[in-house]
Structure 1
Amino acid sequence: MKIEQIHHVAYRCKDAKETVDWYTKMLNMDFVLAIAEDKVPSTHEPDPYMHLFLDAGNGNVLAFFELPTKPQMGRDENTPIWVQHIAFKVKDRDTLLEYKDHLEKNGVEVLGVTDHSIFHSIYFFDPNGHRIELACPDPDEDAMLERLDAVKWDMLEEWTKTKKAPNHADWLHAKELGK
């Protein structure tokens, strides 16, 4: 018994049309499906909603719910804004830079490029306030992933005991920190 892949990941949105327009224009995703009902199929409670599905590539689906009868959406104030995000993979650094340029030309504030050694990322927010990351692999990704794989269990054990960052992979951001 094994999970095959993510069927879809669902988030809430403020406005269904604005969300579809933004993801199709800014990230070139295809709008694949909309479902709208007045009753929730799983709970049977009366609650009108619009459920949107966007093609995030390679069989991955990003979904949103607009819930007009619910209080305005917010975020968990106890979780830093950088923690919860949706990350999408792009082919290479050139593609990442093309997206950065496209987003900025369309008025989206972009943070990065951030070098995480195994991959490089840019960060920005969608119109719903969800943080989005676009990431491309580093040319040396495979070798670095092997290094990380070799220490993952030791790192987890040390973290579990101390709740302090183990130094097994401190080389990851050493370039940015001037080490």
Structure 2
Amino acid sequence: MAIKELGHLVLYVRDLERSVTFYRDVLGWRQVFPYPADDTGGPLRAPVAAFSSGRTHHELLLIEVGEDAAAVPAGRRLGMYHFGLKVGDSDDELREVLATIQRAGVQIVGASDHTVTHSLYILDPDGNEIELYIDVADADWRSDPALVAAPIRPLRL
């Protein structure tokens, strides 16, 4: 067996509309369906929304679980740390992303120069960490795989 690509990510969210607004209106992800019906024609028990960059049918699926759902624990824990979304190919594009998320009041929790990527780290409305990044054009990690593990430096945009 060989993995060909990461296909999609599914997140539980407390409030679907709040999360849809964040992923669609702030991050600019194209919503491909809002609330599909089950095969009896009635609404699903847990409302869902899906998003795609156009690469495949969906790359993100959100499932509403309600306001009483337990929060993602802070600090060191098992499970997902963050997921990355490529937002462009240049620092100019990353600067535009920074301006957009700042205007929207999105919490920025980090900014790093990973040699192969320049990254901003933010939290979604449910506390899931997201890396917004660009690949550094002249970082030839294919020829020098050690670049992937280069020391992390502060990002200077």
Bucket of the pairwise TM-score, normalised by the shorter protein: 0.7 to 0.9
Question: Which structure exhibits the higher relative contact order, with contacts defined as CA atoms closer than 8 Å and separated by 6 or more residues?
Answer: 2
Is 1:89 the equivalent of 2:86?
yes
Q: CA deviation at 1:93?
A: 1.4
Distance 1:122 1:21 in 2: 20
Question: Which runs of no fewer than 5 residues in structure 2 stay unpaired?
Answer: 39-43
Per-residue CA shift, 1:35-57, capped at 9, x if unaligned?
355xxxxxxxxx92112211145
Deviating beyond 6 angstroms after TM superposition, the runs of 4 or more aligned structure 1 residues are none
Distance 1:146 1:13 in 2: 40
Q: CA deviation at 1:80?
A: 5.4
Q: Give the TM-score normalised by structure 2.
A: 0.76
Match of 1:148 in 2: 145
Match of 2:51 in 1: 54
Question: Which runs of no fewer than 5 residues in structure 1 stay unpaired?
Answer: 38-46, 153-168
Q: Which has the larger radius of gyration?
A: 1
Is 1:75 the equivalent of 2:72?
yes
Contact 1:9 1:61 in 2 (8 A): yes
Change (3 A) 1:93 1:57: farther
Match of 2:41 in 1: none
The structure where helix makes up a greater share of residues is: 1
Contact 1:36 1:51 in 2 (8 A): no
Q: CA deviation at 1:77?
A: 5.1
Change (3 A) 1:136 1:52: same
Give me the CA root mean square deviation: 3.1
Distance 2:75 2:133 in 1: 26
Q: CA deviation at 1:76?
A: 4.2
Per-residue CA shift, 1:119-177, capped at 9, x if unaligned?
100011111111111111112222x3422269x9xxxxxxxxxxxxxxxx5xx22755x
Change (3 A) 1:80 1:124: farther
Give the AA of the match of 2:70. M
Percent of residue pairs bearing the same amino acid type: 24
Distance 1:175 1:17 in 2: 36
Is 1:122 the equivalent of 2:120?
yes
Give the AA of the match of 1:53. A
Number of residue equivalences? 147
Q: Give the TM-score normalised by structure 1.
A: 0.68
Contact 1:120 1:138 in 2 (8 A): yes
